[in-house]
């Protein structure tokens, strides 16, 4: 796990770029790679790479990056881990073509795999990655993000030079002028708590989409999605018995966890006591030699809006015989961390869970662990959210033929009572426009709310734009390609393409890398995702029980008391924090942004902030602090 950066020229006659340019970019993300640093410049100054190293696999200097093949015709800088690299290396060794400089570096495997198979080598990788490759034979550059989007990669084009990095702040280091707000992205942020790909909140800075490569050849830039889970659905599962599906889940998940034990440094597990983290702990303990370290954070007992999970985490720790560590996050700790959190986020990731993710990462790092297993992805794959049931039931109603007249009459009913900002109104608005009722597993403000929140200038500029346009291509692709286009599969597919990579996985990446900790995500192994997305809806939704088939699959692996306890997501007691000094800080910060920009309707926002603060205000608080740090 590392930080990568660099540039490639679209026109060869551009001015010389020195290694200082790359050095400055590397310096902006030292926490991603405290164990080493390297730079490379192409001899004609057409490209240059930088790398900050967090040593995980092959700790020798020979495995340092940027890395080239023997004759220097292929150069790579790479962030991530390839879990099946030994299998690929054996396949390459059989050809007898390649001289190996390292004993077991996954980076060197990528170099030779590209030599052997070209860009199609991506089909063989099992892991998480952001990769930059310079092919000196063809003067061709590749920028690649892994299938699920676990690792981020950003880029911008300025004066016919493409500059890329693992963090936006690294780009800002050499291109400080790239600090203007992308106003369409700002409007989308108010819906999704993050910025949908490929935009960022900075105008002119982009993020590569999950499962996508960007190629530069001369002054031509092309982009292609090389992976879509819908192309890998196993239709044979539509006729499989539940017992067979359970066996497949157990087998594939064991493989995913076992692959993620590969490391030359200590590996631990984040353990909250829920199904996902407990399953990770149990399966990891099956294959890990010696005692496994597990980590849990919580809040003081007097917290009202979040119940402690320490009891359940301890239960699982005792069951799996782990070496367990806990930390209680106080309100003062949470408040003191917020400025550092904003800096680390690069662009707002308006999920307060960033705070506990940071503290559990810090706890792991302080107790000798460099790699941690995390449980993201299970809820999206196995119907783990209670509000998904509500959406599913609403969709049944919405699918009744001949009810459009009723929906339009109900819209008029709400209009007459000034209920345009309500949840029922938004559902009816989507239904009458024939949009899917579900846009994302995390929504901040509805379209009618946003229309009142933003300034007249923003409304005029965006005209009839709604944030559905940000996910419309995903919806159209799903409706065209999904073998079973059920509403449940749409919810999973939507979040796999948007909420997971740009919100949930980014909060893990940004907060863990702040303390130089690598996080691995077994539930998002692409083979496991393909299996989960192939399971028939009738099996997943059996009896309207959340995670029905996953619960059956982990019976006997973890205690039933943990499987069938009431679900409690990993969260943060924001409303409790807002009762104290944080509430006043929030109002002051948001009003500062409102009064000093023309992004918001000032009268509406002042009135809104007179109410008791709630979770929506955290989204505005995060945004305002980002604006103050990076824009103002």
Provide the pairing of β-strand 161-165 with 74-82.
Answer: unpaired
What kind and span of H or E run contains 318?
helix 310-320
Percent helix, strand, coil in the chain, to 5, is 50, 15, 35
The residue with tokens 């950066």 is 5
Active site residues per annotation: 5
The residue with tokens 């002042």 is 606
**How far, in Å, CA of 77 to CA of 32, rounded?**
14
The residue with tokens 């706890």 is 363
Instruction: Count other Cβ atoms within 10 Å, centred on residue 375.
Output: 23
Cα distances from 446 to residues 169, 451, 453, in angstroms, run 30, 9, 10
| Residue partners of 625: CB distance under 8 A and separation at least 6 | 338, 339, 342, 589
Residue among 386, 395, 394 nearest 487 (CA): 395
- Measure the CA dihedral 122/123/125/131, to 10°: 10
Nearest 5°: the CA angle 617, 623, 626 is 140
What kind and span of H or E run contains 205?
strand 205-207
Query: What's 239's DSSP letter?
Result: G
Evaluate the CA torsion angle 496, 231, 149, 630 in order and state its sign. negative
| Residue partners of 355: CB distance under 8 A and separation at least 6 | 329, 334, 337, 338, 341, 572
Instruction: Count other Cβ atoms within 10 Å, centred on residue 426.
Output: 20
- Measure the CA dihedral 74/370/376/123, to 10°: 20
Burial tier of 228 (Cβ tally within 10 Å: 0-12, 13-18, 19+): middle
What kind and span of H or E run contains 257?
helix 242-259
Q: Which stretches does DSSP call E strand in 331-451?
A: 371-373
Q: What are phi and psi of 393, to 5 degrees?
A: -70, -40
- Which two structure tokens, joined as six digits, stand for 304? 């009202």
**How far, in Å, CA of 202 to CA of 200, rounded?**
5
Indicate the SS3 state at residue 417. coil
């Amino acid at each position: 796990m590392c930080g990568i950066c660099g540039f490639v020229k679209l026109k060869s006659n551009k001015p010389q770029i020195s290694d200082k340019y790359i050095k400055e970019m590397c310096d902006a993300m030292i926490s991603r790679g405290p164990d080493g640093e390297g730079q490379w410049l192409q001899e004609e100054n057409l490209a240059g790479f930088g790398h900050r190293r967090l040593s995980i696999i092959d700790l020798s200097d020979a495995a340092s990056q940027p890395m080239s093949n023997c004759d220097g015709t292929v150069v790579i800088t790479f962030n991530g881990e390839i879990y099946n690299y030994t299998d690929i290396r054996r396949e390459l060794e059989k050809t007898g073509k390649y001289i190996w400089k390292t004993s077991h570096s996954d980076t060197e495997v990528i170099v030779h795999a590209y030599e052997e198979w070209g860009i199609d080598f991506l089909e063989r990788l099992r892991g998480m990655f952001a990769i930059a490759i310079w092919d000196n034979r063809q003067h061709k550059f590749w920028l690649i993000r892994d299938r699920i989007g676990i690792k981020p990669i950003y880029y911008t084009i300025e004066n016919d030079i493409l500059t890329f990095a693992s963090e936006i702040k690294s780009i800002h280091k050499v291109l400080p002028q790239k600090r203007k707000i992308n106003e369409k992205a700002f409007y989308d942020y108010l819906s999704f708590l993050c910025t949908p790909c490929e935009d960022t909140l900075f105008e002119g800075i982009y993020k590569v989409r999950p499962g996508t490569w960007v190629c530069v050849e001369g002054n031509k830039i092309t982009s292609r999605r090389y992976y879509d889970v819908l192309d890998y659905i196993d239709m044979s599962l539509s006729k499989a018995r539940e017992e067979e599906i359970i066996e497949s889940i157990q087998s594939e998940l064991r493989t995913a966890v076992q692959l993620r034990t590969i490391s030359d440094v200590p590996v631990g597990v984040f353990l909250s006591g829920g199904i996902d983290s407990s399953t990770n702990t149990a399966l990891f303990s099956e294959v890990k030699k010696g005692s496994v370290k597990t980590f849990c954070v919580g809040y003081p007992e007097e917290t009202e809006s979040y119940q402690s999970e320490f009891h359940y985490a301890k239960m699982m720790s005792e069951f799996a015989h782990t070496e367990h560590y806990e930390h209680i996050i106080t309100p003062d700790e949470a408040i003191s961390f917020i400025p550092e959190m904003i800096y680390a986020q690069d662009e707002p990731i308006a999920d307060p869970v960033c705070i506990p993710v940071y503290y559990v990462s810090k706890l792991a790092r302080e107790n000798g662990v460099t790699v941690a297993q995390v449980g993201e992805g299970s809820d999206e794959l196995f119907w783990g959210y209670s509000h998904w049931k509500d959406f599913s039931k609403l969709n049944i109603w919405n699918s009744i033929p001949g009810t459009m007249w009723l929906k339009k009459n109900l819209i008029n009913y709400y209009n007459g009572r000034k209920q345009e900002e309500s949840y029922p109104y938004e559902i009816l608005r989507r239904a009458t426009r024939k949009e899917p009722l579900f846009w994302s597993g995390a929504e901040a403000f509805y379209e009618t709310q946003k229309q009142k929140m933003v300034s007249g200038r923003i409304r005029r500029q965006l005209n009839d734009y709604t944030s559905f346009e940000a996910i419309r291509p995903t919806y159209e692709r799903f409706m065209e390609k999904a073998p079973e286009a059920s509403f449940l599969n749409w919810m999973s597919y939507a979040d796999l393409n948007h909420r997971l990579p740009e919100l949930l996985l980014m909060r893990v990446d940004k907060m863990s890398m702040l303390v130089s900790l690598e996080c691995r995500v077994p539930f998002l192994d692409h083979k496991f995702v393909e299996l989960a997305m192939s399971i028939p809806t009738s099996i997943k939704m059996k009896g309207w029980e959340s995670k029905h088939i996953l619960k059956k699959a982990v019976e006997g692996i973890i205690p039933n008391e943990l499987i069938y306890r009431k679900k409690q997501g990993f969260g943060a007691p924001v409303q409790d924090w807002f009762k104290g000094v944080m509430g006043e800080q929030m109002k002051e910060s948001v009003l500062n942004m409102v009064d000093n920009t023309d992004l918001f309707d000032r009268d509406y926002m002042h009135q809104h902030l007179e109410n008791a603060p709630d979770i929506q205000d955290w989204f505005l608080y995060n945004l305002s602090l980002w604006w103050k740090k990076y824009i103002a």
